[in-house]
Chain A
Amino acid sequence: MNKTQNRPEGGENNIEVWEDLVRIKDLVLSIAICTVITLGAYLLAPNEPPKPLIYGLIGAVVGFIISSIVVKPKRTLRFDEGGEE
């Protein structure tokens, strides 16, 4: 699990958290979106188990989808067509 050493040039705004790259601003935004929606759904649900938990889980998924739309992944993908072997 060594940290990757390669530093690409230009536009270096991302840091490494848990084996992948993130931009701090986007990370704060995603955490805020997910936490507010998850906890909000949990608290707003009718107070009879298991409804708060289910609402919360749905909230988590909704938060996740919204963050995925708002934030762009910090990866570029390239396909290596031919085999090298």
Chain B
Amino acid sequence: MEITLILEMVTASVIGAILYTIIGIAPGTDETAVLAPVTLALVLSGFEPIVILAFFISAIIAKKLTDSIPVAIAGIPGGVMSAPMVEHAMVLKKHGMPEVSIRKMASGSVIGTFIAVPMSLLLANLIIPLSDVITQYSNQIFLGGAIFLALMSKKRWVSLLSIIPFAFLIQGLRIAYWETGIVPEDVTVFTSFFLGITIGPVILKLTELLSGRVRRQLPRFGLKEIVLKKAKTEKGFPNPFKILDRKEIGTTSFSSVLGVLTFFMSPVGMTIFLGETLTSRIKDPVKKATRAISSMDGLTNAAYLSGTLIPLIAIGLPLSPTAIGPAGALFNAPPVFTPENNIHHMLSTSDFIIATVIGAIVAITITFYVTIKYAPQICAFVFRFIPHEAMLGLFFGLVIMLAFMDAGIVNVAGVLLIALVAGFLHRKGVNYGVQFMTLYAAPWLISLFLPGM
């Protein structure tokens, strides 16, 4: 391999790590919304596939390391994935230990990465012989995932009931687009529907604000007071294995392994499910909280990495929620990547290992160091200068643009429709995991009822 190519990969990884360290901290940033468009732009601009992979790996590790910082410091989730951790982080905050949260979470992330990278490469190689069978049954796997996650959630009957109607809404819109010729028959609108589900709860809330009666009834607040604790500065380079105690390392490693093995499941759903299950027997609230956040963070990181790497290396089709969401552009970004000719086909196994290792090392070195040392300062900057309104505006603007890009002005309405329904379902207790799995299973599920569609 040429030196220039390696230098390019390192540079791309450094840029990815810095960019997504900042983005990760901003509250409410969804992984797909912030990673997919940028990766897509890089792919379409014609960078080397191996450079793009290094960038992506670095970006996703950095994002996952930092999106739990605002949770620890202010109880505001930095992304969808960190929402399940809020409850536990608030316990630590109440006990005056937000910097403990940050260190435990970041260390959990690092362990998750250490476990996920080699394990994903290994698992991918084991799966390669099975890839034909998996590809053949991917639809059943997605439907099974939706049903499983529905049964695991608190509102299981509502969740179960929502699967088929929601699939009909999604597929119905697609069929309408095909019939009217808004998009060609071989194009399946996906990205914007995905974002519609993600932004659903916010769109529902914003729509309700249009009603004066609702607006007057809403609770009003003054300014939100955030108390930042000055954390003690660590000397030297922090060691994640010293920050976590032995039990925490054990649980975190265990949940990371499970995160890799369940790479095809929705990471949010698995995080909620495993995080609660693994810690439900611990009595001491502080110990329970530290164990929960470190293992949840390890799990999300492992699930994201394996969800990207395993389908990419073994199958070449986006057969995991991560692959189909944030990493979508690595699989399908016409005209550069298509399902028949993407990173899976262009890179060799050693290319995958080199790109992943470079991305992971750069991200951990930069972001872990920065996270542990400067978390309060970065948070102070974000909280002081970045208004929540601008975040919501940015997100809204991106969704509208991507909706327009997918299928024109009609799709802007279509995405709003999906967002409203998704937001309503979310409020009734149908979690993101079930909704995303339904989105993936929709084409096949509906074809069972409407043969030929």
* Interface residues, chain A, with chain B CB atoms under 8 Å away: 1, 3-4, 7-24, 26-27, 29-35, 37-39, 42, 49-50, 52-54, 56-57, 59-60, 63-64, 67-68, 71-81, 83-85
Contacts and interface: CB of A to CB of B under 8 A. Distances in A.
Given A29-B389, A79-B227, 4 more contacts: A17-B205, A68-B386, A73-B385, A73-B388
B400 A10 contact: no
Nearest to A61: B394
A42 B222 contact: no
Given A64-B394, A68-B385, A76 B226 contact: yes
Contact of B393 (A15, A35, A53, A84): A35
6 contacts: A22-B392, A30-B389, A64-B391, A73-B388, A76-B224, A78-B228
A63 B86 CA distance: 29
A58 to B, nearest CB: 10
A54 B41 contact: yes
A37 B397 CA distance: 8
Contact of B390 (A10, A56, A68): A68
A20 B27 contact: yes
Interface of B: 27-28, 37-38, 40-41, 44-45, 75-77, 83, 86-87, 96-97, 201-202, 205-206, 209, 215, 218-230, 232, 335, 380, 383-394, 396-398, 400-401, 404-405
B401 A39 contact: yes
A11 B218 contact: no
Given A38-B401, A60-B401, A50 B387 contact: no
A78 B376 CA distance: 12
A75 to B, nearest CB: 5
B383 A1 contact: no
A75 B224 contact: yes
B392 A8 contact: no
Contacts of B396: 31, 34-35
A83 B404 CA distance: 51
B77 to A, nearest CB: 6
Across the A-B interface, give the 5 residue pairs with the lowest CB-CB distance, nearest first.
A50-B44, A30-B393, A34-B397, A34-B393, A8-B222
A27 B220 contact: no
Given A39-B400, A53-B40, A1 B83 contact: yes
A57 B36 CA distance: 11
B41 A73 contact: no
A79 B205 CA distance: 32
Contacts of B87: 1
B389 A79 contact: no
B405 A42 contact: yes
Name the residue in A13, A20, A52, A80 with the highest tally of chain B Cβ atoms < 10 Å from its Cβ: A20
Q: Pick from B96, B205, B220 the residue with the most CB of A within 10 Å.
A: B220
B216 to A, nearest CB: 11
Contact of B383 (A12, A27, A77, A81): A77
A46 to B, nearest CB: 14
Contacts of A4: 221
A14 B76 CA distance: 17
Nearest to B388: A20
Contact of A19 (B77, B209, B384): B77
A77 B379 CA distance: 10
B397 A35 contact: yes
Given A1-B83, A34-B394, A14 B221 contact: yes
Most buried by B among A11, A37, A56: A56
Contact of A21 (B45, B205, B223, B400): B223
Contacts of B202: 17-18
Contact of B222 (A9, A38, A72, A84): A9
A19 B390 contact: no
A68 B370 CA distance: 24
B404 A42 contact: yes
Given A73-B386, A74-B224, A38 B77 contact: no
Contacts of B206: 17, 27, 31
A19 B282 CA distance: 28
Contact of A14 (B222, B227, B385): B222
Which of A7, A72, A76 has the most chain B CB atoms inside 10 A of its CB?
Answer: A76
Contacts of A34: 390, 393-394, 396-397
B34 to A, nearest CB: 11
Contacts of B97: 85
B390 A30 contact: yes
B401 A80 contact: no
B76 A20 contact: yes
